[in-house]
């Protein structure tokens, strides 16, 4: 009741009012103490207003993470290898639905949510996978800015949903910006990067997610960029994010990153000054620390009450969009039932994603799929019976996880003898002088070696316990113990199919010549074993394509700490790779032809490109048509080749399809040394095919690409 005895209208509880009006009304009702309780990720409840505590920190990288039962989809680097944005959008919607169901069930049972039980998912990771030694590269969409933007946008749109008022869940683009290792230096590292590389490579995906996907949140990185800590960077947060791009959502720090401002970067004198600097620069909520000093910063005059209200208005707006202050019957996503969690539909979706993500790197003599002449199979290697390789990092768990061994056994036709022995460890030499696996392999018609890397060998700082590099890899070569094991099998005459798990490139060297087939399956999710078996036995056809270059060796890499793109990724390196970006074989063959510009007019205004692709083999299969642009006359530091379009198409034997791809004006522009986009006149080349341009892909079996040159006067 108001002072005159009339009923007061509580505006923030009225779903019909504009969002800004509701946020301001709620702000006006909070005491300073209540406001200050809303700035570290487990925000405090406000009992007198009936507002429960809420924890902003939840994970949904490739499934609801760290919160019990959930569908486990392939790790992100595997999902990127599908080159299928629509599939990624569907997966992200499934993650959002499972998060919704678990959130509301937790509220019903517990009355509030705890760590990892919310609807603000700190995903996707859209950093550029610039160096294959980075342990967290597995969380990314690969090395290409355009592909990362396309796939990341699909993920955000699926996770957040398409309702005009409510979010299914809130996505977060991380880690802003220029962040990709080394892990052991991430808390103190100062990235020196040119404005050209910043705008041409490290920022495009963030820009697309902010301006097109309307991502709800952005997470600042641990490191500094050009002397400014990312979580308190005027350049990144004010000039670019909110200035150039008009970002209206909220910014969160990475976890305990604000303590690095004074503890590692030494740009402030202590936590009070850090809290003030970060808040005024635009970091709205802190994960883990430091913002408990905002009250002191306010008392000392380092920040104002208006600064507090501005930051809080942004995080409250997200909670309003999630329907947290509205009657649940009015929030469509609130009715999501628990039956969706780990459902058969979602499991089949995980299986489909694992099928499309696997990349066939070699298939000598059509060894795969396994034919009827094979009467005995020997399965071996450290990945065969491992659950860890299904999961990657930032994962949930499920009661229906199928290892590679289980998948093969489940698909094995009766009449084929199968035996299994581990054979070797990931990195530790055998202590026994006798290894029965070598004899079993020699006596079998076909040996399937499941090897590669494990999340124990690559991941985040503090997580991967088989690496001394804080989660990174010092060398990208297959571990020596695994190399020697495969050499011994080969020396005894074993016919080997190599199934490689991993979240990053593995340099095989001469090992690639000792095996008949190589299938790279990433960290394939809960149904990875079933999917791999389907591919091995021909129930499905491999169609994945690499989204990161596989170098020949560690020696081919620039220094890890060097963030210049010179000599890195397919866009800027001239060194011949082991397996190139965009590469992946099939059980059929494809042929390209008929490339042409489909729409006449001023080329600089954008146009359509048509290219024909034909399945010339005997089995139905998917192909990923890729379009690359080269600026031939540029004076600027332009990429050698740059992906500007792609399309996954399904083709029956003998079938042709004409694929049309748009070339937007911005794609024709280059970045100058100041990061400005410029359209230079001159000659350009378009290349369409099933792999990035270069002789290596064709030599390995990719279809011959087709090219077209044109000129902009």
Structure confidence by residue, pLDDT tens digits, 82-127: 999 999 999 999 999 999 999 999 999 998 899 999 999 999 999 9
How many CB atoms neighbour CB 654 within 10 A?
A: 10
What is the average per-residue pLDDT within 599-626?
94
Residue 630 pLDDT level (bands cut at 50, 70, 90): very high
* Residue whose token pair is 């052991």: 184
| Three-state DSSP state, 57 | coil
Instruction: For the chain, give the number of residues.
Output: 713
- Cα–Cα distance measured from residue 591 to residue 606, given in angstroms and rounded to the nearest whole number: 27
Strand partners, 607: 663
DSSP track, 452-502? E--TTTSSSTTT-TT-SBTTB-S--BPPHHHHHHHHHHHHTT--EEEEEE-
- Cα–Cα distance measured from residue 586 to residue 581, given in angstroms and rounded to the nearest whole number: 16
The yes-or-no verdict on residue 236 having pLDDT over 50 is: yes
> Which pLDDT belongs to residue 375?
98
> How far is CA 461 from its chain centroid?
18
> Which pLDDT belongs to residue 420?
98
Residue 602 pLDDT level (bands cut at 50, 70, 90): confident
Catalytic residues: 254, 458
The yes-or-no verdict on residue 62 having pLDDT over 70 is: yes
Sign for the CA dihedral angle at 571, 574, 577, 583 comes to positive
- Cα–Cα distance measured from residue 644 to residue 348, given in angstroms and rounded to the nearest whole number: 31
438-473 core/surface letters (b: 16 or more CB in 10 A; e: else): bebbbebbbbbbbbbbbbbbbbbbebbebbebbbbb
Interhelix angle 204-211/145-160, nearest 10 degrees: 30
- Cα–Cα distance measured from residue 80 to residue 294, given in angstroms and rounded to the nearest whole number: 40
Residue pair 625/690 in contact (Cβ under 8 Å)? The answer is yes
- Cα–Cα distance measured from residue 625 to residue 630, given in angstroms and rounded to the nearest whole number: 17
CATH of domain 11-336: 3.20.20.300
Q: What is the pLDDT of residues 19-56, one digit of tens each?
A: 999 999 999 999 999 999 999 999 999 999 999 999 99
- Token readout for 195 is 């404005």
> Which pLDDT belongs to residue 601?
75
Residue pair 475/555 in contact (Cβ under 8 Å)? The answer is no
Residue 185 pLDDT level (bands cut at 50, 70, 90): very high
> Given this structure, which CATH class describes domain 345-548?
alpha beta
Residue 4 pLDDT level (bands cut at 50, 70, 90): very low
Closest to 245 measured CA to CA, from 204, 280, 278, 279: 204
What is the average per-residue pLDDT within 606-622?
97
Residue spans in the chain of domains classed CATH 3.40.50.1700? 345-548
DSSP H or E run through 596:
strand 590-597
Strand partners, 657: 613
> Which pLDDT belongs to residue 7?
65
* Residue whose token pair is 């990429």: 639
Residue 219 pLDDT level (bands cut at 50, 70, 90): very high
> Which pLDDT belongs to residue 197?
98
The yes-or-no verdict on residue 642 having pLDDT over 80 is: yes
124: DSSP letter: -
Q: What is the pLDDT of residues 188-199, one digit of tens each?
A: 999 999 999 999
> How far is CA 124 from its chain centroid?
6
Sign for the CA dihedral angle at 186, 293, 266, 201 comes to positive
Sign for the CA dihedral angle at 566, 569, 571, 573 comes to positive
- Cα–Cα distance measured from residue 591 to residue 655, given in angstroms and rounded to the nearest whole number: 11
Q: What is the pLDDT of residues 237-282, one digit of tens each?
A: 999 999 999 999 999 999 999 999 999 999 999 999 999 999 999 9
What is the average per-residue pLDDT within 535-549?
98
The yes-or-no verdict on residue 5 having pLDDT over 80 is: no
CA angle 507, 508, 513 (to 5 degrees): 150
CATH of domain 590-712: 2.60.40.10
Closest to 302 measured CA to CA, from 327, 281, 284, 318: 281
Residue spans in the chain of domains classed CATH 3.20.20.300? 11-336
What is the average per-residue pLDDT within 302-309?
98
What is the average per-residue pLDDT within 400-426?
97
286: DSSP letter: B
What is the average per-residue pLDDT within 649-673?
97
The yes-or-no verdict on residue 6 having pLDDT over 50 is: no
Percent of the chain exceeding pLDDT 90 equals 97
DSSP H or E run through 656:
strand 656-663
Closest to 37 measured CA to CA, from 23, 25, 51, 24: 51
CA angle 388, 389, 395 (to 5 degrees): 65
> Which pLDDT belongs to residue 600?
65
Report if pTM > 0.75: yes
Compute CA distances 31 → 35, 36, 48, 282, 434, whole Å: 6, 9, 11, 22, 73
The yes-or-no verdict on residue 204 having pLDDT over 90 is: yes
Residue pair 438/370 in contact (Cβ under 8 Å)? The answer is no
What average pLDDT is seen over the chain?
97
What is the average per-residue pLDDT within 593-612?
91
| Three-state DSSP state, 402 | coil
Residue spans in the chain of domains classed CATH 2.60.40.10? 590-712
What is the average per-residue pLDDT within 419-439?
97
* Residue whose token pair is 């049972």: 109
- Cα–Cα distance measured from residue 122 to residue 119, given in angstroms and rounded to the nearest whole number: 9
């Amino acid at each position: 009741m108001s002072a005159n005895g009339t009923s007061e209208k509580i505006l923030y509880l009225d779903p019909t009012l504009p969002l800004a009006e509701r946020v301001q009304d709620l702000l006006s009702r909070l005491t300073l103490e209540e406001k200050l309780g809303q700035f570290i990720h487990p925000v405090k409840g406000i009992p007198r207003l009936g507002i429960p505590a809420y924890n902003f920190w939840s994970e949904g990288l490739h499934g609801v993470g760290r919160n019990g039962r959930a569908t486990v989809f392939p790790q992100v680097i595997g999902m990127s290898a599908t080159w299928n944005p629509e599939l990624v959008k569907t997966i992200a919607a499934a993650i959002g639905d499972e998060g919704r169901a678990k959130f509301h069930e937790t509220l019903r049972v517990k009355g509030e949510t705890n760590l990892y039980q919310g609807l603000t998912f700190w995903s996707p990771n859209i950093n550029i996978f610039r160096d294959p030694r980075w342990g967290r590269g597995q969380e990314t969409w690969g090395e290409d800015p355009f592909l990362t933007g396309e796939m990341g946008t699909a993920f955000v749109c699926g996770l957040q949903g398409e309702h005009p008022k409510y979010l299914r869940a809130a996505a977060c683009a991380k880690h802003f910006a220029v962040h990709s290792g080394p892990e052991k230096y991430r808390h103190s590292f100062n990235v020196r990067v040119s404005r050209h590389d910043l705008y041409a490579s490290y920022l495009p995906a963030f820009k697309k997610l902010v301006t097109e996907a309307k991502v709800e949140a952005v997470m600042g990185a641990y490191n500094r960029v050009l002397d400014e800590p990312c979580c308190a960077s005027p350049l990144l947060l004010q000039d670019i994010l909110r200035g150039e791009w008009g970002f209206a959502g909220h910014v969160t720090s990475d976890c305990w990153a604000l303590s690095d401002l004074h503890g590692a970067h030494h740009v402030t004198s202590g936590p009070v000054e850090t809290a003030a600097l970060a808040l005024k620069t635009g970091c709205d909520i802190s994960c883990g620390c430091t913002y408990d000093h905002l009250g002191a910063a306010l008392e000392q005059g380092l920040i104002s009450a208006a600064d507090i209200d501005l930051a809080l208005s942004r995080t409250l707006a997200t909670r309003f969009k999630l329907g947290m202050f509205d009657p649940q019957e009015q929030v469509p996503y609130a009715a999501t039932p628990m039956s969706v969690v780990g459902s058969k539909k979602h499991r089949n979706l995980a299986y489909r994603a694992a099928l499309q993500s696997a990349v066939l790197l070699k298939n000598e003599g059509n060894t795969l799929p396994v034919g009827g002449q094979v009467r005995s199979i020997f399965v071996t290697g450290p990945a065969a019976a491992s659950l860890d390789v299904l999961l990657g990092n930032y994962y949930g768990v499920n009661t229906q996880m199928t290892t590679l061994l289980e998948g093969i056994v489940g698909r094995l036709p009766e009449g084929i003898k199968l035996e299994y022995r581990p054979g070797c460890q990931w990195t530790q030499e055998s202590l026994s002088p006798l290894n029965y696996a070598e004899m079993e392999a020699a006596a079998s018609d076909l040996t399937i070696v499941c090897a590669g890397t494990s999340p124990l060998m690559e991941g985040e700082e503090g997580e991967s316990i088989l690496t001394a590099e804080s989660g990174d890899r010092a060398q990208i070569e297959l571990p020596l113990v695994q190399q020697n094991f495969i050499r011994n099998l080969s020396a005894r005459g074993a016919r080997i199919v190599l199934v490689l798990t991993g979240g990053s490139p593995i340099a095989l060297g001469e090992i690639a010549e000792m095996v008949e087939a190589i299938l790279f399956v990433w960290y394939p999710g809960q149904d990875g074993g079933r999917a791999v078996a389907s591919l091995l036995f021909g129930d499905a056809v491999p169609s994945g394509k690499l989204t990161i270059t596989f170098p020949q060796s560690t020696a081919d890499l620039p220094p890890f700490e060097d963030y210049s793109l010179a000599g890195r990724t397919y866009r800027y390196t001239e060194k011949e790779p082991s397996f190139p970006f965009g590469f992946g074989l099939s059980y059929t063959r494809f042929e390209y032809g008929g490339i042409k510009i489909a729409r006449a007019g001023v080329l600089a205004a954008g146009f359509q490109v048509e290219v024909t692709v034909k399945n010339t083999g005997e089995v139905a299969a998917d192909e990923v048509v890729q379009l690359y642009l080269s600026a031939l006359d540029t004076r600027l530091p332009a990429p050698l080749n740059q992906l500007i379009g792609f399309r996954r198409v399904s083709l029956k034997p003998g079938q042709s399809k004409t694929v049309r791809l748009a070339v937007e004006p911005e794609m024709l522009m280059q970045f100058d040394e100041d990061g400005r986009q410029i359209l230079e006149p001159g000659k350009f080349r378009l290349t369409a095919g099933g792999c990035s341009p270069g002789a290596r892909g064709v030599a390995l079996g990719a279809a011959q690409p087709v090219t077209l040159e044109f000129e902009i006067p």
